[in-house]
Structure 1
Amino acid sequence: MNNNSGMNMPNINLRSIMAGACVFVGLYLFFTSWFTVAPEEAGMVIRFGKFTRKVNPGLHFKLPYLETVVKVPVERQQKMEFGFRTLRAGIKSEYSHDSFLEESMIVTGDLNAAEVEWIVQYRIKDPYKYLFKVRNAEQTFRDMNEAVIREIIGDRTVNEVLTVGRQEIADAAAVKLQQVCEEYETGIKVEQIVLQDVNPPEAVKTSFNEVNEAQQEKEKLINEASAEYNKIIPRARGEAEQTIEEAKGYALERVNRARGEASRFSSIYNEYSRARTVTKDRIYLETMNDIMQKVG
């Protein structure tokens, strides 16, 4: 009896171990078959390397080992940095520049050079295209950014790039980049391009600053001259118009006086013609009367 019990013990232990292993594997497969998609994500389910379905935020089931899930942040705004990298963000952010001069150094349309650092803000609007239409979409998007910025800046002068044309360049680059993204079906929506920092190369920065200061001084002198012109010329025009009006008034007065004298002379002449002797005597008496009044 004892011998039989000793012979059955290994069988009982083996069955227990097998049952426990099956339970463990079953529980493991059960719990690893469920996955959660965050509110800002889309879950892309892949079976044997082929896309099968897209799932929305929430709790979902997948076939263990047969299916994998790639979570894509479709609601979160993302950014790429060019010409620099943020090492630590915060109140006093730290950046690295020296290792990325190849990205930032760009030739302008007038064959000068400028160091351009920029940021691209974007979202993934179509996760299927982002994952399956383009190989390594993130690197492809980075290459597109550099190509577009170099093309846009290559059509501008260095003064436009460094001064007044920065916003126009950023806007034009965003439009062009979106067109390229749609053409190559990257699934990316470009939201904004910001030219973070634009400077002449370090070797010529001092000379450029001197030229820029001279241009600013020139603009200042032009503005001062324009202000003086606008102050003096209207006053001179007003004085000229006043003089002209006074001359017109004087001329009108002289003309009216001359016309009055001519009319008076005509009246006297008409009376003289009708009664020459009487008129002559009247004029003589009036004249003598005036003389006597002045003498008296």
Structure 2
Amino acid sequence: MSGLPDASFAPPTGRRWARRIGFAAVVIGVASYAGSGFYFVQPDERAVVRRFGRLTGAEKGPGLHYELPWPMGRVDRPKTTQVRRVVVGMSPEDRLLIQQGDVEAMMSSPQSDVLSGDINILKVTLIAQYRIGDPTRYVLRTIDPDGLVRQAVQATLIEALSRMPVDALLTTDRIAVRDAIEARSRALLEQYETGVTLVSAAIQSIEPPRAVIDAFKAVTNEEYERSRKIHDAERDADRRIRDAQARAYERVQEASAYRSQRLARARGEADAFLKQHAEYVKAPDVTRARLFLAKMEELLPRVRMIVLDEQGGESPIELKLIEPRGGGGR
């Protein structure tokens, strides 16, 4: 019996091979399913993780993470730094077609028609930009972010334009309207708590219907010319006022300097007189003589000497001993 093969070393049958292959497939499937829970978050993303429908905690930052595979776990990775853009009102393409007189384009964009405060129809194009500010709220509460932003901005646009006359909207108050729409839309989106943050809302165009656009342009040009003339007049008035103020300041400075000079001179003369008076009180005769001599020293250099011939027989001549200042007396 030693020549017979050992049964323990018999090759596997087809059934054993099937069991082994099935077991290997199950192991590979389980490993693949478990490995599908690994996920990578990019630098511009934030991961919102839910397990059995509930949030697991804080948002996950960039890097490699693990969560239970679907359907037990779910990972959403919205891009928080990406700025998205939506058009509110008339699209640029429709605007170009309307300018070319395309009636179908005029009829196909009724959402761009807005009434002003004085009941005039305006066609408006506004570009709104937004980003995801709160990833958790965005994932849980937002389905169509573009539609949400478009509706919020359009509602604010209609409200803002309905409060102002058409002339102001087309000329002077366009920037103020844009700022009001942007602030109100941002507050409205924050009130919705959808995690969407408005970045900007820029008005691309506000135009009247094509049938009356020439008349509106004429009014706009006149308003611009009026504003320009007012600006030029105000600038000229400011220049004249500055010149007058400069001249007035110069006169005041000159008067102040003259006043200071006169006061200093008067104080000097007063001090000199008081000193002379003090000396006069001490020695009246000496002071009087000194003052007389000082005055004579001042006057005598200007005295003219005149010699008369008493035997000439002429009538006496009245003479001035002291020549007036600058005089040419004989």
* TM superposition score category, shorter chain reference: 0.5 to 0.7
Aligned length: 224
Matched, 1:33 2:37: yes
Matched, 1:64 2:72: no
Match of 1:199 in 2: 207
Instruction: Give the CA deviation at 1:95.
Output: 8.3
Label 1:100 to 1:24 Cα distance change in 2 as closer, same or farther (>3 A).
Answer: farther
Asked whether the equivalents of residues 37 and 69 of structure 2 are also in contact (C-alpha less than 8 Å), the reply is: yes
What secondary structure sits across from 1:20 in the alignment? helix
Label 1:67 to 1:224 Cα distance change in 2 as closer, same or farther (>3 A).
Answer: closer
Instruction: Provide structure 2 residue ranges, at least 5 long, that are not aligned to the other structure.
Output: 99-104, 242-330
In structure 2, C-alpha distance between the alignment counterparts of 1:182 and 1:45, rounded to whole Å: 23
In structure 2, C-alpha distance between the alignment counterparts of 1:96 and 1:19, rounded to whole Å: 66
Match of 1:173 in 2: 181
2:19 maps to amino acid: R
Asked whether the equivalents of residues 87 and 150 of structure 2 are also in contact (C-alpha less than 8 Å), the reply is: no
- 1:34-69 CA distances to partner (integer Å, 9 max, x unpaired)? 111111111111233333332111111111121121
Label 1:42 to 1:159 Cα distance change in 2 as closer, same or farther (>3 A).
Answer: same
- Tell me how large the CA RMSD over aligned residues is: 3.6
1:151 maps to amino acid: E
Match of 1:83 in 2: 89
Asked whether the equivalents of residues 91 and 125 of structure 2 are also in contact (C-alpha less than 8 Å), the reply is: no
- 1:113-134 CA distances to partner (integer Å, 9 max, x unpaired)? 1111111122211112222245
What secondary structure sits across from 2:69 in the alignment? coil
Over 6 Å off, 4+ runs? 4-7, 94-97
Label 1:135 to 1:50 Cα distance change in 2 as closer, same or farther (>3 A).
Answer: farther
1:22 to 26, 31, 36: 26
- Which has a greater percent of strand? 1
Match of 1:270 in 2: none
In structure 2, C-alpha distance between the alignment counterparts of 1:225 and 1:128, rounded to whole Å: 55
Q: How does 1:44-59 map to 2 (within 5 A)?
A: 44-53=48-57, 54-59=59-64
Instruction: Give the CA deviation at 1:195.
Output: 0.6
1:11 maps to amino acid: R
In structure 1, C-alpha distance between the alignment counterparts of 2:22 and 2:81, rounded to whole Å: 47
Match of 1:139 in 2: 147
Asked whether the equivalents of residues 119 and 193 of structure 1 are also in contact (C-alpha less than 8 Å), the reply is: yes
- Which has a greater percent of helix? 1
In structure 1, C-alpha distance between the alignment counterparts of 2:231 and 2:138, rounded to whole Å: 56
Asked whether the equivalents of residues 83 and 100 of structure 1 are also in contact (C-alpha less than 8 Å), the reply is: no
In structure 2, C-alpha distance between the alignment counterparts of 1:163 and 1:74, rounded to whole Å: 37
In structure 1, C-alpha distance between the alignment counterparts of 2:120 and 2:109, rounded to whole Å: 16
Identity %: 25
2:86 maps to amino acid: M
Label 1:224 to 1:128 Cα distance change in 2 as closer, same or farther (>3 A).
Answer: closer
Instruction: Provide structure 1 residue ranges, at least 5 long, that are not aligned to the other structure.
Output: 88-93, 235-296
In structure 2, C-alpha distance between the alignment counterparts of 1:112 and 1:147, rounded to whole Å: 18
In structure 2, C-alpha distance between the alignment counterparts of 1:73 and 1:188, rounded to whole Å: 12
Label 1:207 to 1:141 Cα distance change in 2 as closer, same or farther (>3 A).
Answer: same
Label 1:130 to 1:225 Cα distance change in 2 as closer, same or farther (>3 A).
Answer: closer
Match of 1:116 in 2: 124
Instruction: Give the CA deviation at 1:85.
Output: 5.1
Instruction: Give the CA deviation at 1:135.
Output: 5.5
Match of 1:263 in 2: none
Match of 2:46 in 1: 42
Match of 1:264 in 2: none
Asked whether the equivalents of residues 178 and 202 of structure 2 are also in contact (C-alpha less than 8 Å), the reply is: yes
Label 1:61 to 1:164 Cα distance change in 2 as closer, same or farther (>3 A).
Answer: same
Instruction: Give the CA deviation at 1:84.
Output: 4.8
TM-score when normalising by structure 1: 0.64
Label 1:25 to 1:86 Cα distance change in 2 as closer, same or farther (>3 A).
Answer: farther
